[in-house]
Amino acid sequence: MSMPEPSPLQRGLIPNLKYDVPAGLVVFLVALPLCLGIALASGAPLLAGLITGAIAGLLVAPISGSQLSVSGPAAGLTVILLVGIPALGGFEHVLLATMIAGALQLAAGIARLGFVSNLVPHAVVEGMLAGIGVILVLQQIPFALGRPMGPAPHEGLWMFGHQAENVAKITEAVATPALGPTLVGAAALVVLLIWQRPWIAASGVGRFVPGPLVAVVVGVALGEVLQLVGGGLALEPTTHNVAIPVLETPWALLDALPRPSFDKLWSPELWTLALTLAAVASLETLLSIEATDKIDPFHRTSGASRELIAQGVGNLAAGAAGGLPMTSVIVRSSANVYAGGRTWFSAFLHGLLILIAVVALPVLLNRIPLAALAAVLIVVGYRLARIGLFRSMARHGVEQFLPFVVTFVVTVYVDLLVGVAFGAVIGVLLLLWSQVTTSLHCEEHDGVWHVVFDKDMSFLAKTRLRRALATIPDGAKVVFDGQRASFIDRDVLDMLHSFEVSAVHRGISVERVGLDSLRLSWLGRPKADP
């Protein structure tokens, strides 16, 4: 649905409050169930997700380079945390890894390394997110059926090395669902599917009444009805509902939050987790702000390096305060845009409202069924790994589809960063193969042989060039056309020179077009021959 043309943007916060306050409320309603759900999917304390949402709004929004980006716990990090928490022996060690990841992001931002995300192929990023989506869906099925899987494996990612164990747990949950939670999860899922229908979007309801919020409200209402009915339908509050501390005073929040542990500061596993969090969180953030800038009605551009600084500060604070790691999140950012947000104050307000909810509304939050949150996350996971994405990538050809599929499969069955590395390697190999096979073509017109360089010529094109030159008969006229190339490798120039020398003895006349001014210089910059 296209957005109407907005009224002119005014400078400062005060003139834009009439837009930012309603948008901040909408973003809060979108973020609240997602903060809880992502903490659930990560195997972390649910309060940690809310704390990160609050810090993201209160701290990151004012210093971010993006006016409309909204940060918080992200689905892209759930797989990493799901394994990292048990592998390190507790959430308190993950908090330290989050702080280290934040420090690395801060250093990268100061070093102006925001451009690094441009070096990761789009197909690889899509494959990584699709793999995360599948893991997210599989991991939430037992929660939606009232049969949580329990602790994650201590080694490898969610599936690797534990396929049989995890499939058995999912199969058991499907075979023996708890009726009450299953009804709640099914009702929430139906609401979410209805909220994706075009007529909801056309009515404008979906813009201001988020589907995840409606699903959670329906889940809470149905859960209360089932409690009244009793019997086998009643939900067990300590097992099937959200459980965050009920604070006697606002200051009690400080005592309720976990603290980072420095016991494993020099553990290789902790530093591996920190590096993984920094890399994935930075990549997801930079992709998110790029997407947010594209839908900004005022076409503002965010600074990538400044955003890394903001995220680094945010993750340092989140780790110190007992929260999950954060990224900029496109779901919340797009909700902010479509709700009419104009400045960073809408994201700031959403963080303030989350903090107020933690302090003032814990009893209400503890009535939210985990099955309703699982339904929300199943839809999020499906959107990341939707069937249409696979079809779209296939239509873009093997050079896009193969890195996508390799990244997807390795992410699900081995490791997230290993999946990205494999996908990137496949992408590079396909690029090199393209250089070998499509760098030039040779054709004959009216007795003249044209050897056309279709792109920059590196040493990888030598084999194809040699085959092309071998087809040219004695006594022919040859034109070497380099007008489409910006540089040419010295190996290729030497091969052309050797051919020209032999051409004298074979009665072949040679003409160069657009080649004599090209040379491969340092870092590939073309410069004229002296």
- 404 and 472 in a single domain? The answer is no
In this prediction, residue 62 has a pLDDT band, given cuts at 50, 70 and 90, of: very high
Residue 179 belongs to a domain: no
- 491 and 346 in a single domain? The answer is no
Residue 519 belongs to a domain: yes
Percent of the chain with pLDDT strictly greater than 70: 92
Would you say residue 287 has pLDDT above 80?
yes
Are the C-beta atoms of 170 and 414 separated by less than 8 Å?
A: no
Residue 108 belongs to a domain: yes
Task: Residue 508: give its domain's CATH number.
Answer: 3.30.750.24
- 268 and 385 in a single domain? The answer is yes
- 350 and 488 in a single domain? The answer is no
Separation between Cα atoms, residue 281 and residue 283, nearest integer Å: 6
- 148 and 261 in a single domain? The answer is yes
- 457 and 402 in a single domain? The answer is no
Write the CA distances from 327 to 22, 355, 527, integer angstroms: 23, 18, 42
Would you say residue 45 has pLDDT above 80?
yes
- 155 and 275 in a single domain? The answer is yes
Residue 119 belongs to a domain: yes
Mean pLDDT of the chain: 86
- Give the residue-averaged pLDDT of 505-525: 68
Which pLDDT does position 524 carry in this prediction? 43
Write the CA distances from 254 to 59, 246, 258, 259, 357, integer angstroms: 17, 13, 9, 10, 15
- 38 and 145 in a single domain? The answer is yes
Q: pTM higher than 0.75, yes or no?
A: yes
Q: Which domain holds residue 495?
A: 439-524
Are the C-beta atoms of 46 and 40 separated by less than 8 Å?
A: yes
Separation between Cα atoms, residue 408 and residue 132, nearest integer Å: 8
Residue 222 belongs to a domain: no
322 — alpha (psi -120 to 50), left (phi > 0) or beta? left
- Of 174, 101, 495, whose CA–CA distance to 320 is shortest? 101
- Give the residue-averaged pLDDT of 188-213: 81
Residue 143 belongs to a domain: yes
Which pLDDT does position 483 carry in this prediction? 84
In this prediction, residue 161 has a pLDDT band, given cuts at 50, 70 and 90, of: low
Q: Which residue has the tokens 């779209």?
A: 392
- 330 and 463 in a single domain? The answer is no
- 333 and 473 in a single domain? The answer is no
Residue 450 belongs to a domain: yes
- 46 and 118 in a single domain? The answer is yes
Domain count, the chain: 2
- 400 and 473 in a single domain? The answer is no
* pLDDT tens-digit series, residues 69-114: 999 998 889 888 988 998 899 999 999 999 999 999 999 999 998 8
Residue 508 belongs to a domain: yes
